């Protein structure tokens, strides 16, 4: 198997700005998780990249680049897309994914916009090629489970070392004065995700109704179903290394138990 590491990494600005003790701890934990990662390509799926209705968007440009302003300054990043492996993943995924281009098929203008859900997690890694994916929100979540299984098989059989990053923030309704208000479901959802990852049992997550998800307002739900498929196919075990609520939304960092 040529899979290097698996990560769940949040994308709140605070983990870069580090305005408080929790955010500083989260930054330290993610930095330690990423330390020593020798992968040649990082495959990242972000809920804030290109969103197709029910298929994972696999970016097929030469580059991806973007800038994102945070309180402490501006993050700027340009990455080379690992196009051969992106296309291999699309072939394996079949109807679960589509390739997406931007502006031109080749050359310097073949450059896809890099979203903050990708820039922030990638900040913790040294420069390397990426396989960039956009997470959909399909009504049939089994499609994400199936894609997660495909993603593992693709990484396992790759001819280079690949790491996988599931970019995800948790429930966004932890505070009455937050932009989405408060719901009891926020803490229920986050607790269930922590248990699901630590125990590799996502059965409870599968029972959450669309209305429940709508009240908790996570962007992680669909990526966590993909993670379920990945872990089911791989028989690997993960652990939550750090979790906290930043004002109104939950952030969680997780990696392999023995990485």
Range 233-257 average pLDDT: 97
User: What is the structure's pLDDT at 258?
Assistant: 76
> Out of 3.40.50.620, 3.10.50.40, 3.90.1300.10, 3.40.830.10, which CATH number does the structure's domain 3-169+218-256 have?
3.40.830.10
Q: Is the pLDDT of residue 25 over 80?
A: yes
DSSP string, 149-218: HHHHHHHHT-SS-EEEEEE----S-B-TTSTT-B-THHHHHHHHHHHHHHHT--HHHHT--HHHHHHH--
Give mean pLDDT, residues 40-50: 98
Give the tens place of pLDDT for each residue, 197-214. Answer: 999 999 999 999 999 999
Task: Check residue 249 and give its pLDDT.
Answer: 98
pLDDT of residue 72: 93
Distance between CA 235 and CA 229 in Å, rounded?
A: 10
User: For residue 148, is pLDDT > 90?
Assistant: yes
- 1 pLDDT above the threshold of 80: no
Check pLDDT > 90 for residue 216. Answer: yes
Altogether, the residues listed in the chain come to a count of 259
Note the pLDDT tens digit of each residue in 74-132.
Answer: 999 999 999 999 999 999 999 999 999 999 999 999 999 999 999 999 999 999 999 99
> How does pLDDT run across 165-207, given as a tens digit for each residue?
999 999 999 999 999 999 999 999 999 999 999 999 999 999 9
Which pLDDT does position 121 carry in this prediction? Answer: 98
- In the chain, the percentage of residues whose pLDDT exceeds 90 is 98
Check residue 259 and give its pLDDT: 66
Which pLDDT score is estimated for 2?
Answer: 84
Strand order of the β-sheet with 97-100 is 97-100, 56-59, 129-134, 41-46, 162-167, 3-9, 249-256, 238-246
**pLDDT digits over 118-147, tens only?**
999 999 999 999 999 999 999 999 999 999
Query: In sequence order, what are the beta bridge partners of 6?
Result: 164
Question: What is the rounded CA–CA span in Å between residue 88 and residue 83?
Answer: 8
The answer to whether 223 and 135 are in contact (CB under 8 A) is: yes
**What's the CA gap between 32 and 16, in Å, rounded?**
14
In this prediction, residues 8-12 reach a mean pLDDT of: 98
Domain locations in the chain as residue ranges: 3-169+218-256
């Amino acid at each position: 198997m040529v899979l290097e590491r698996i990560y769940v990494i949040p994308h709140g600005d605070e983990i870069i700005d580090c305005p408080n003790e929790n955010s500083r701890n989260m930054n330290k934990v993610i930095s330690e998780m990423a330390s020593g990662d020798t992968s040649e390509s990082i495959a990242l799926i972000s809920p804030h990249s290109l969103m197709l209705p029910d298929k994972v968007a696999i970016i097929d440009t030469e580059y991806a680049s973007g800038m994102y302003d945070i309180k402490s300054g501006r993050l700027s990043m340009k990455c080379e897309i690992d196009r051969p492996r992106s296309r291999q993943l699309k072939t394996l995924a079949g109807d679960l994914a589509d390739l997406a281009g931007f502006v031109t098929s080749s050359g310097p203008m073949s450059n896809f916009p890099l979203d903050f859900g990708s820039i922030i997690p990638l900040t913790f890694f040294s420069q390397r090629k990426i396989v960039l994916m956009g997470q959909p929100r399909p009504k049939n979540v089994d499609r994400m489970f199936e894609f997660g299984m495909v993603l593992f098989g693709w990484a396992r059989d790759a001819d280079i070392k690949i790491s996988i990053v599931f970019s995800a923030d948790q429930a966004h309704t932890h505070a009455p004065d937050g932009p989405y208000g408060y719901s009891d479901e926020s803490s229920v959802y986050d607790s269930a995700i922590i248990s699901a990852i630590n125990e590799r049992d996502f059965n409870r997550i599968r029972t959450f109704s669309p209305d429940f998800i709508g009240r908790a307002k996570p962007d992680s739900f669909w990526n966590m179903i993909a993670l379920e498929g990945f872990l089911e196919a791989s028989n690997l075990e993960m652990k939550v290394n750090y979790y906290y609520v930043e004002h109104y939304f939950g952030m969680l960092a997780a990696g392999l138990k023995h990485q």
